[in-house]
Amino acid sequence: MADTASNSDPAANGLNPAAEKVARVYAQAILEAADRKGCRDEVLEELQALATEVLPKVPNARFVFDSPRVPLDEKDAMIDRIAAGRMQPTTSHALHVLARHGRLGIVAEVADAARRLANELAGRHEAVLTTAVALSEDDQQQVIADVERKLGVPLAATFAVDPALIGGLVVRVGDTVYDQSIASSLASLGGKLHRRTINEIQHGRDRLTSA
């Protein structure tokens, strides 16, 4: 599958190891509570929706969640308004716990940590598959199946688009990048041609010197 593989630096991706560690602790507790109630998938979806859809669109909610100056009762009231009729009691309780411990501002990190932990527990490896153009749902499923077959591991995959690839596919699984893009292949080919040209020039000089 892989033409080249390299390790990425978590710090380069803007990750805060301390925040990630704290988020994972809360994520594990949330998953355990959700499993006891048999609602893991629902809780994961609700946390992701809150982090990616609700907070970015409701500036006031984001301010209330993030600010340490907002009283706890005001945060609780905001959580109740957001959760009313839309969230599992387990999700709502988790948000109240985060608020009581002054961690409501990292709810997005907790949601991401919960998703990653759930994938780990299910034996799925998180992957980002980058293509030069957007793929249809059917094409995405075909690509995922092909990559899983070649890597020999089940994936929890998301897709990204980078026109600079020209074509092909770049797969990031954890900290490892597998690059099969045409752009990468062209760069590799250019390097080989450059080295061959240098070798030919050197060979010609050696022949002239011998003559």
- Residue 113 is assigned to a structural domain of this protein: yes
The torsion of the CA quartet 53, 57, 59, 60, rounded to 10 degrees, works out to -80
CATH number at residue 32: 1.10.520.20
Q: How far apart are the first and last CA of the chain?
A: 48
- Residue 64 is assigned to a structural domain of this protein: yes
Local structure of residue 132 (DSSP, 8 states): S
- Residue 56 is assigned to a structural domain of this protein: yes
Structural tokens at position 33: 């509570």
- Residue 140 is assigned to a structural domain of this protein: no
Q: Which pTM was predicted?
A: 0.66
- Residue 177 is assigned to a structural domain of this protein: no
> Tens digits of per-residue pLDDT, 148-201?
888 888 999 999 999 888 778 899 987 888 887 777 666 654 554 545 555 554
- Residue 17 is assigned to a structural domain of this protein: yes
Structural tokens at position 43: 């809780």
Domain that holds residue 37: 11-120
Q: How many domains does the chain have?
A: 1
